Structure 1
Amino acid sequence: MTVGTGIDLHAHSNASDGTDTPAELVRAAADAGLVVVALTDHDTTAGWATAAAARPTGLTLIRGAEISCRWHGAQPAVSLHLLGYLFDPTYPPLADELDRVRAARTVRGERIVDLLRADGVDITWDEVLGYAAGGTVGRPHIAQALIRAGLVASTDEAFRPQWLGQRYRLPKDDLDVFTAVRLVQEAGGVTVFAHPLANRRGRTVPDSMIVELAAAGLTGLEVDHVDHDPAERAHGRRLADDLGLVATGSSDYHGSHKTVGLGANTTSVAGYEQLIAKAHGVPPL
């Protein structure tokens, strides 16, 4: 497969915690000059059909999801995200796990709102559900409620330690990362470890764990990401080379919830073609 430049393999719609609809997202990707965009909403494939129907001519759509995972090799376990691409969404073991993780997100979100309200914060669960608009509930939806209440000025401020970054952050029932890699493989897809070195987001895993994950079938590392500094990018690229993994780059676009734009980081044509060659679940569109 021959493609042009402009390949962004990590973007969110309002099927999870982005602000663009799936249709708006694919149109925005084309307007940004991308030739490939991956729709990777958190723990859901709900936006796939709408994005596919609205896909502009000349834009390739990669259907995927960002899966909430946990590594149990440390105590407490480390939260991390796995990008799954081109898997069969009807594969029952994977579909069931994604259903469970989405339900856990909802429970966590309601508990966070309860904690905030107990401290006198004037937001409601119904309001947060309204911001989610039927999509997977995430902390950015709670952040919108905090902005409306005049307590923070932006989503970034809402994610600071005194708010959703620490004080009102609760764990959720994520999927074991090794199980996630296996299930995506069984469903015909490929996996990339999202922002694996982003220390500013919280704890990260040791390189030895990534070695184990590569041996278990991981396909790539998201190296070029807004939350990786130059040293982290260089380290990630060396690690990917050493392990025979695809080094990817992407925006992690969330619409107006974040300032980063589509195409802020991109994946090479060679890396993209390596990912496509390894997948056999659902094809690019």
Structure 2
Amino acid sequence: MRIDLHAHSTASDGTDSPAELVRNAADAGLDVVALTDHDTVAGHAEAAAALPAGLTLVPGAELSCRLDGISLHMLGYLFDSDEPELARERELLRDDRVPRAQGIVRRLNELGVPVTWERVRELAAGSVGRPHIAAAMVEAGVIDDVSAAFTAEWIGDGGRAHVGKHELDAFEAVRLIHRAGGVAVFAHPLAVKRGRCVPESAIVRLAEAGLDGVEVDHYDHDPATRDRLRGLAADLGMLTTGSSDYHGTRKPCPLGLNTTTPDAFAELVGRATGAEVLRG
């Protein structure tokens, strides 16, 4: 059984539509895929309507969070998408995306980068984000690939053209996901390639506050990091997951690159009370 619990569609910063995503997941030989777009559940209905026979869809979202001044992402699975408190917070997170992206474009223009807001919006079929700005920079010939944008030179955290954003307190994210009947998993917690990460002591604090699991098997975690996280999760009694963090053609990580064990998946589903998996 092949289970991938982290994937994005055009509802946020992926390049596959939600319908394309589930079809591609089936073609990749997956049995289970989670749709976890950034701060939105807008793609769930389309994905469910296009669900191929034999594929199970896990509705979820990846929430933009902050802890001790450091940005992080929290995966919420199988929560009630209509629960008002969590729905309001997702709306606040989404609403901040446009002015933030516009601010980044302005800063890039001041640095002489010929990127336009109009082109960024064209590239963002759904919710706009930094990957769309990075793609516009590649088109303009400023950088060779999307990853080159996420540095101090350009739009990485603390970079010359970086603009801050509204982020949800990580402890509050865990509380809200649980309030909506969902399961909370810390996404790529030690992905140091992306910038500053919280220390392992912060993961302990989150576990004490009810964090259900950590995403261990991820392309931004080397083998030693995976071993450390797996040991920490065992000590804390947390679930461990694996995933591709698929974004279509925007990132070099195919569906099913990393997977979650059937036992961990069964426990995750068993903890959820807000929503059910959808079976094709």
TM class by smaller structure: over 0.9
Q: Measure how far apart 1:191 and its partner are.
A: 0.6
Structure 2 counterparts to residues 136-285 of structure 1, below 5 A = 136-165=127-156, 166-285=159-278
Give the C-alpha shift of residue 252 in structure 1.
0.4
Give the deviation of 1:159 after TM superposition.
2.2
Cα deviations across residues 122-177 of structure 1 (Å, max 9, x unaligned)? 121121111112x1111110012112211122212222332222222222110001
Greater displacement, 56-65 / 103-112: 103-112
Letter in 1 for 2:38: H
59, 64, 84: which one pairs with 1:63?
59
What is the rounded CA distance, in whole Å, between the counterparts of 2:272 and 2:99 in structure 1? 33
Cα displacement (A) at 1:220: 0.6
Alpha-carbon distance in structure 1 between the residues aligned to 2:19 and 2:143: 29
Deviation at 1:120, TM superposition (A): 2.1
* Counterpart contact for 2:244–2:259, Cα < 8 Å: yes
| TM, length-normalised to structure 2 | 0.96
Q: Is the 8 A contact 2:150 2:194 kept in 1?
A: no
Is 1:92 matched up with 2:84?
A: yes
Correspondence for 1:16 among 12, 16, 34: 12
Letter in 1 for 2:18: P
5+ residue gaps, structure 1: none
Q: Is the 8 A contact 2:66 2:167 kept in 1?
A: yes
The answer (yes or no) to whether the contact 2:215–2:240 under 8 Å persists in 1 is yes
State the one-letter code of the partner of 2:243: S
- Cα distance in 2 for residues equivalent to 1:204 and 1:116: 26
Cα deviation for residue 102 of structure 1 reads 0.9
The runs of at least 4 consecutive aligned structure 1 residues that moved more than 3 Å come to: none
- Could you list the per-position Cα deviations for residues 49-104 of structure 1 after superposition, in whole angstroms to 9, with x for gaps in the alignment? 000000100000000000000003xxxx0100000000111111101011001111
Q: Give the match's secondary structure for 1:282.
A: coil
Q: What pairs with 1:43-82 in structure 2 (closer than 5 Å)?
A: 43-72=39-68, 77-82=69-74
